[in-house]
Amino acid sequence: MAKITLKNLAHSYLPNPSSEDDFALKEMTHDWRDGEAYALLGSSGCGKSTLLNIISGLLRPSHGRVLFDGRDVTDQATAERNIAQVFQFPVVYDTMTVRENLAFPLKNRGIAAAEIAEEQRLLDEAQDKLKALEEKQRKGKESLEEIKKLIEYCKEVEIDVNKAVEAEARVKRLELEVNEAEEKVFEQDQKIDDLKRQETTWTEKIARQKEQGELKRQAAEASLKAAREELAAVKARNTANDAKKAEEVNQARQLELKMQKEDEEHNREVQSLVMNFASLRDQVAKYHAQIADEMGVSENERVPLQRVENFGKNGDLDNTFGWTNYDMTKNFGGIGKGKPSIAAVGRPAGAEDTEFTLS
């Protein structure tokens, strides 16, 4: 980088500018310090590109000087200034390969082909080294992932081993407890046998009755516990059923409101259709009267307008209504085949493209 000084710089694309308006770049003096970043802001045609072309040596200014670190480079070529300019839209020659596009500026500078080839060779070596490093990095990441998985596996194995050791210790403790319990049971059996031998027949009978009473009491307590649990379950089911019933009632209410709203909307649409059809019938009646007047048909010979409603295949009322008038054959001597009539066909009143056809 270098300090760039623009001293009394101005430029005009006219050979002999006579006024300030003839200058694309008006006179300016400015210093761009080394190591800092600058931006040119302005509307289209204000001279931004002109100033950059002057600094890079693509254009010689009409007035003023350009200095790099105090050295005047106004009359030096771009190559002598050791400066480069990146255009807004970079140029890539699609007839050249990527390598040829990169080497093209070097050829324009007059660098020998051997030197260019050496630069390309060094670039290829750097790319190969970069690819090798990337491959090593990829393999290193894969190895690291494998090591992490192995560590996790070892941790799991260690946990399993610890669990096995604890389980074995628990088994040993249980075995000791079982042995002690068996010894106690054996001693108690010995004592019971001794007592049985000493007890009289009545003592044995009383003991059996007490034992039976205890069993009955336990059975009764178990039955009572089961009944309480069943009662709690029934209460829970009743609560759930009540909530479900309330939800169904709410849904039915919402459906009823929706149906009521749709009925109201349907009634409004039907009323609107009736009004539109009535307006259309009035228009047809006026047109009918106008045609009759133009034909010279007297009031006595006119037949009142009859409304005929047409229905679709499914019985739905469509948007076409027809009205027929008197028999015009007697007035025109049977023009055409059949009996001529006036039919009104079209959209409801208010539509711009409503047509009336004479058939």
CATH of domain 4-90: 3.40.50.300
Structure tokens at 172: 């040993």
pTM listed for this prediction: 0.31
The Cα–Cα gap between 222 and 224 comes to: 5
CA dihedral 141, 147, 153, 156 (to 10 degrees): -100
Structure tokens at 244: 């479900």
| Helix (H/G/I), strand (E/B), else coil: 8 | strand
Q: Which residues of the chain have pLDDT under 50?
A: 306-359
CB 5 within 8 A of CB 31: yes
- The reported pLDDT for the residue numbered 11 is 94
- The reported pLDDT for the residue numbered 230 is 85
CB-CB neighbours of 57 under 10 Å = 19
